[in-house]
Copies of this chain bind each other. A is one copy, B any other.
Amino acid sequence: MLKHNTYFDGRVQSVGFERNGLKATVGVIEPGEYHFGTGAAERMTVTSGQLKVKQAGGNDWVTYPQGTSFEVAANSGFDVQAVGGPAAYLCEFLG
């Protein structure tokens, strides 16, 4: 079953799915700054546009263009900004 998720008044939306026992979502982040907490660890791959990310406990904003990925530890979180327009991503839950 596919599941539509919407956050921050619809400014971040995704579709959740599962394959081979692993959960994942594909979604879009509109320009703006948002914080996401994590339960399981996640791998975020930017599939369109560009994201700027600051990991929990970190000070630096790191830019991830299309085709690049970053991982977020379990029980942690990250601040994220979509830069230059909406950005699309694949989020894979790692455990």
Contact surface of A with B, Cβ cutoff 8 Å? 1-2, 4, 6, 10-15, 17-20, 24, 26-28, 30, 45, 47-49, 84-90, 92
Contacts and interface: CB of A to CB of B under 8 A. Distances in A.
Contacts of A20: 84-85
A47 B49 contact: no
5 contacts: A19-B48, A24-B48, A26-B26, A26-B27, A26-B28
Contact of A86 (B18, B85, B88): B18
Nearest to A50: B19
Contacts of A45: 47
A27 B14 CA distance: 8
